[in-house]
Amino acid sequence: MPNSISKYKFIRLDFNHKLKPFDCGDNEAGIDLTDFFINQSKDYLKQLLAVTYILETKNETIAYYSVMNDRIERTKKINKSIPNKKRYAAYPAVKIGRFGVDKDHQRENIGTQLFDYIKYSFTNNIKTGCRFITIDAYNEPNVLKFYEKNGFFYTDPEDELEETRSMYFDLMDYVLS
């Protein structure tokens, strides 16, 4: 785990865990991310839909992310990056269903460090094939810029007017860096 986030406790949410205060901000995305963490993350775990990981201190939640299985449809760009003779209609991915940093800790590089940890985890603790990370990013300039800075590309350039933009990261880019 990167050094500056290693000072925090990193846990996998379970049903007995007492959630600590968390607030991602008062814009639409922040309200949704806060509500998911506080009110829905345990339900998603119970329904086997997503697993949530938390970065916290004794008194507060610093950040969290939820992961679930996904797939990414084959495109010409993606096809070029996969050298196998056998081509599939879709390739295995993990979706970051929710990803939030508490408003008091934003702009501390915690989000980027968490993404580095996620990339490391899915390329070094391999339990199943997973070539891509996908995310549906809120279509807000600062959010999109954050994901672009972290190596994500747009899956569908035609979703520019949607509430969220589908993006992906090729884990081979991390392995080869």
Q: Are 54 and 42 in contact (CB under 8 A)?
A: no
In the chain, where the domains are located = 3-175
In single-letter form, the type of residue at position 48 comes to: L
pLDDT at 75: 76
Provide the 3-class DSSP secondary structure of residue 58.
coil
pLDDT of residue 3: 62
Which CATH number does 3-175 carry?
3.40.630.30
- pLDDT averaged over consecutive 10-residue blocks of the chain (177 residues)? 81 97 90 96 98 97 97 79 74 95 94 94 87 95 95 92 95 87
Distance CA 177, CA 167 (A): 20
- Output the pLDDT for position 6: 87
**What pLDDT score was predicted for residue 87?**
72
The pair phi, psi for residue 41, each rounded to 5°, is: -60, -40
User: What is the predicted pLDDT for the residue at 76?
Assistant: 73
131 with 171: CB under 8 angstroms? yes
Strands of the sheet with 90-101, listed across from one edge = 9-12, 51-56, 61-73, 90-101, 132-138, 164-170, 153-154
Output the pLDDT for position 26.
84
Task: Determine the Cα–Cα distance for residues 75 and 95; give it in Å rounded to an integer.
Answer: 18
d(CA 54, CA 128): 22
Length of the chain: 177
The vertex-123 CA angle with 148 and 7, nearest 5°, equals 75
